Chains A and B, each alone.
Chain A
Amino acid sequence: MTAKELKDKSIELRRKTLEIIYNAKAGHTGGSLSIMDILNVLYNRIMNVSPENFNDANRDRYIQSKGHSVEALYTVLADRGFFPEEDLMTLCQYQSPYIGHPTKGVNGMEQNTGGLGHGLPICCGNALAAKKDNSGVKVYTVLGDGEMAEGSNWEAMMFAAHYKLDNLCAILDYNKLQITGSNAEVMGLEPVAKKLEAFGWAVKEVDGHDYDALIETFESLPFEEGKPSFVIAHTVKGKGVSFMENNIKWHHGVPSAEQMEMAREELLIKEEV
């Protein structure tokens, strides 16, 4: 898909994500809107994974380390055809497989996540196995910025650089907010690019909502041969709905009927000027 097509799709994906959260009266709204464009590009342009090849050992792997933003992933997977979209209206219901964090009970999910700091170590194992098998498989993960305080991420970062896992791409959803407040208030992460580079990763910074930039960034993987790649995606929590943007209230806030109607109005596909 072209950047323009993906961008148009993102508006619909955001609206659907909000609809399922509104219906379930639960979900991680801000973070789901934050990572939507990244997932849209990965699943619809970059990764070699589809409902048709999901049982093929040589598919690319995506593990969502920030498991709480699962509503965005569900929406993208449904749109990609992994399961019927109407299934998502059971989100968080009794005995529904569509729970509040990724689980393998849902077609298209690679691993169960939700505890933070778990995705990157597993991706390291995936990427190392792919290297040993010369399979050409690429491995992707999205991490939250608050999640970067988990020590296991830094253990995995040392590992990925040591084993030269240039088939691994970690993406930081850098919206700079976490549940209590800003990263800077809760646990300072800066200078994050320098830290990642010092850990032996090749790093690129990108506007996480700019489709041309995201595509260009992902199409240039690996950024450096013999190094794992880290994409620092500058994002906006709650992106796409004006009253949700950059407001920690929407970390797991659920819209009221009135707010949902306002959000729907904002999320209409508009022709670019």
Chain B
Amino acid sequence: METKEIKNEVLLGKPNLEVFSATMQKLAETDRGIMAVTSDSRGSGKLVPFGQKFPEQIVEVGIAEQNLVGVATGLAAMGKKAFAVSPACFLTARSLEQIKNDVCYSDNPVKLIGISAGVSYGALGSTHHSLHDYAVLRAINNITIVAPADNFETEAAIRSAAEMETPVYIRFGKKAMPQNLGSIDFEFGKGRVLKEGSDLTFVATGEGVWPAYQAALKLEEEGIHATVLSIHTIKPLDTGLIEKFASNGQPILTVEEHSVNGGLGEAVASHLFQNGFRNKFKIVGLPDDHTVHGSQVEIFDHYGISEEGLTKTAIELLK
């Protein structure tokens, strides 16, 4: 396995949302089958330039998310590479039955793109948050669930999705993320090792990865050596990689922009417990409560999904 020097300086990149739209444009240049299906969401999806450049490859359904997924299904069934693009909150709740039946059960390779995911909409409140999406989609078979951490993972995920012949869900936010926190290897279902250490393992996904990485650097200053895994694919889970970093008994701290119920943390805990691991374990995410009001950063800080919060939680866990 690749080991990595600690990078004290992370190069800040663009929002993953912008990387998504730029990648869509690059793909559409050479592939007329690429279709973006939007629910009055081309602006929020940064797809206005895409639509101008490829008017035949964007389909507007209006504010009608059930129809969004149904239409994307129909396009995919006719051989199009259909990307259904809508805020993650609506896409995975309002159209859940279409995802379950039309996409997953019916084996149609629709690419479901959840934009402005998690608490990206911040103070707009819980109507616009998606803290349930991993949980509900994990309970549906035949779907790959992906939350890229950085710009590199986002572009790789979109490119991989275009070639997928099975359903995939990819969600990301709209805040600037690092360009690349690790290596340039990407494959759905294979986590990335961003940093290695033998005292503690952060198992993180999506926009929870960067604060975990920052906390690991901070802990290093305290003489605590942490591993950081970017588990961009929540399903199928890279159980081999997680087991490897659980096998010396070190505490495990999972980090996600999702409810603590049913997300990455519970997936990891379930696997490890059923396979005999008894490591100290902590799931960091959004609690089972009404979410506090504030910006994404304020919400992250409030629940300890931050350099400071995760450093503190890690130290507590090591006691």
- Stretch touching chain A among B19-27, B96-104, B292-300: B96-104
Q: How far is the CA of A121 from the CA of B79 in the complex (A)?
A: 16
Q: A115-B97, A121-B70, A121-B73 are in contact. Are A159 and B62 (CB under 8 A)?
A: yes
Complex Cα distance, B105 from A128, in Å, reads 22
Judged by a CB distance under 8 angstroms, whether B224 is at the interface is no
Q: Which of A111, A115, A126, A155 contacts B67 (CB 8 A)?
A: A155
- Category for how many chain B residues contact A: 20 to 34
Q: In the complex, which residue of chain A has the Cβ closest to the Cβ of B64?
A: A155
A114 contacts B by Cβ under 8 Å: yes
Minimal Cβ-Cβ distance residue in B for A123: B74
A124 to B70, CA, bound (A): 8
Assuming the contacts A112-B101, A122-B74, A123-B74, asked whether A104 and B106 have C-beta atoms less than 8 A apart, the reply is yes
Closest approach, in angstroms, between the C-beta of A141 and any C-beta of chain B? 11
Interface residues of chain B: helix, strand, loop or mixed (majority): helix
A130 close to B (CB within 8 Å): yes
Q: Does residue B66 face the partner (Cβ distance < 8 Å to A)?
A: yes
Interface residues on A, range: 20 to 34
Q: Which residues of A (141-155) have their CB < 8 Å from a CB of B?
A: 151-152, 155
Main secondary structure of the interface of A (DSSP, over half): helix
Residue A1 at the chain B interface, CB threshold 8 Å: no
Chain B residues 16 to 68 lying within 8 A of chain A, measured CB to CB, are 56, 59, 61-62, 64, 66-67
Query: Is B82 an interface residue when CB atoms closer than 8 A count as contact?
Result: yes
| CB-CB under 8 A for A159 and B101, given A122-B74, A128-B59, A129-B79 | no
Is the pair A152, B106 in contact by a Cβ cutoff of 8 Å?
Answer: no
Tell me if B80 counts as interface (CB < 8 A to partner A): yes
Decide if B101 touches A125 in the complex (CB within 8 Å). Answer: no
Q: Which residues of B contact A111 (CB under 8 A)?
A: 73, 77, 102, 106, 108
A88-128 Cβ-contact flags toward B at 8 Å (1 or 0)? 00000000000000001000001111110110111111111
Q: Which of B61, B70, B101, B108 has the most CB of A within 10 A?
A: B70
Question: Roughly how many angstroms separate A128 CA and B80 CA in the complex, as a whole number?
Answer: 11
Contact with B along A152-170 (1 / 0, CB 8 A): 1001101100100000000
Contacts of A121 in B (CB 8 A): 66-67, 69-71, 73-74, 98, 102
B102 contact from A122, A151, A159, Cβ within 8 A: A122
The 8 closest A-B pairs by CB, nearest first: A125-B74, A121-B70, A129-B78, A155-B67, A155-B64, A152-B66, A125-B71, A112-B106
Please give 17 more A-B residue pairs, beta carbons under 8 A apart, in addition to A121-B74, A126-B74: A111-B77, A113-B101, A118-B98, A121-B67, A121-B70, A121-B71, A122-B70, A124-B67, A125-B72, A127-B74, A129-B77, A133-B78, A152-B64, A152-B67, A156-B71, A159-B62, A159-B67
